[in-house]
Amino acid sequence: MVRKTSSGFFRSTPDTELPYRVARGYDRLNTTHFSYSSSSSSFPRFEDQKPIKKEFDPSLYTLPYVNFMTDNPTIFHAVDALTKRLEKHGYKYLSERSLWDIKPGGKYYTKRNDSSFIAFNVGKEYKPGNGVAIVAGHVDALTAKLKPVSKVPNKAGYIQLGVAPYAGGMNTTWWDRDLGIGGRVLIKTSSGKVETKLVNLGWPIARIPTLAPHFGAAAVGPFNKETQMVPIIGIDNSDLYPEQSKSLGTESKIKPGTFAATQPPKLVDTICKSIGIQDYSDIVSWELELFDIMPAQLGGLDHEFIFAGRIDDKLCCFAAVEALIASENNESTGIIKMVGCFDDEEIGSYLRQGARSNFMDSTISRIVEATNHETLGPNLKGQVLANSFLVSSDVIHAVNPNFLNAYLENHSPRLNVGIAVSADPNGNMTTDSVSTALLKRVAEKCGSILQVFQIRNDSRSGGTIGPMTSSALGCRAIDCGIPQLSMHSIRATTGSLDPGLGVKLYKGFFDYYEEVDKEFE
């Protein structure tokens, strides 16, 4: 059954056969998924899942995904939550700065910059030269990041914040939104070491106000992001009362020449109070960003939608991690199962934590070396990669009923149906006939439906990490992803079943890749 809580949201109880009416008619196969405590008065939390064995029900991943999106608005929060989830299921952290000890049957993950991670488990029957089944995507999203010096002069009684758009952030969908702030803060401890703390104030602190249409041409645009989209974060009318002495307040606690002196004093004070910092000089630096504070939530008459910010592409990363966890240890025991979640895809993936870096190649090289002490070298690694397969997973444009003329006929993915394979003859996607045939066989075995997407000839194709990663590794690859509406908007839409349908296919890939790959030798 579906039960409404005091907050107006919905949750399902463990004995629910199908929590959402939209789930009617979907085929469900035997697999591992999750149940939740019925004693809780709120949504089941992302970390409170208990595995049970029953028929696959994609709707059981709906509420965990909704909560994951609400609780983890920045890339640093998302990576922290996903890696903690992995740790809870037996994955051991391997620092890139240390030698790795890897054993068949082991579960591991490594991080870079706290904004990218790669998780993998080694099959208990893994042999030198066997392949890697990889699902990889990006966990960054369009946003607005604070400038190195975010303190700007007050104007007309407003305290404002200096921010810069990340990728396509601060587009027109950002006007008049309740914007929260969060990210990571680097703190110097009493021992002299620098540690990182995550911060999320939990309430809106900023807004980019529009100009009413009555002002005529000035309200029409185009608008200058540097001068006309500066967020307001407070009010300071002290310039109207010059006869009153200005209270030093927070500013008296900020020492000249420190990092805190380059930031708005009230923001420094608020951030420090939220993470328990007494001496503002202890802040070495920070990476903070603005985001739509509105929680992710279910929508539609039958709760068939999920409305959320930053769906692109925390959606596919969530599904990939859940699939890796759900894949049984007795399935595909002779291979390595791997998930990669990268930063910086929205700006080209060029940085050290991006998919274009050596992160995945280095990780696979170290695995090959650590599991094969007697036969090292490029010959063995080349064999491993030739036996491997990459599923490049990024969200796909779901069909928009108001703009059907923008879509190619028979290439218009729908919500709550299944993952869509994305093709492009000009190399923006890595999909080809062999990789499509292989994934179709996986879909047949796990009972998933594959859709297909390709852009019209008179439109511009986007890109993914697929081409850059597969060309660097030399392994076979396909681009596919979960459909969503309103891509690159501050808030987007996916289907309430789509997170679970993503888990279903990716889990099927991990479970059946070893078996299916033998058909393509």
To the nearest 10 degrees (0 to 180), the angle between helices 498-517 and 62-71 is: 110
> What is the residue-wise DSSP string for 234-276?
EE--GGG-TTSPPP-GGGGGSPTTSGGGGS-HHHHHHHHHHHT
Burial (0-12, 13-18, 19+ Cβ within 10 Å), 257: exposed
User: For residue range 312-325, what is the model confidence (pLDDT) as tens digits?
Assistant: 989 999 999 999 99
Q: Given this model, what pLDDT does residue 416 score?
A: 98
To the nearest 10 degrees (0 to 180), the angle between helices 311-326 and 62-71 is: 130
The residue with tokens 């002002």 is 215
- Phi/psi region, residue 335 (left: phi>0; alpha: psi -120 to 50; beta: rest), is beta
Task: State what percent of residues in the chain have pLDDT above 90.
Answer: 79
Q: Say if residue 387's pLDDT is above 70.
A: yes
Q: Say if residue 32's pLDDT is above 80.
A: no
Q: What is the pTM of this model?
A: 0.89
340 or 38, higher pLDDT = 340
Return d(Cα 272, Cα 285) in angstroms, integer: 12
User: For residue range 121-157, what is the model confidence (pLDDT) as tens digits?
Assistant: 999 999 999 999 999 999 999 999 999 999 999 999 9
Return d(Cα 366, Cα 370) in angstroms, integer: 6
Contacts of 75 (CB under 8 A, 6+ apart): 115, 139, 140, 141, 343
User: For residue range 55-76, what is the model confidence (pLDDT) as tens digits?
Assistant: 788 999 999 999 999 999 999 9
* Residue 176, CA distances (Å) to 173, 179, 236, 364 in order: 8, 9, 20, 45
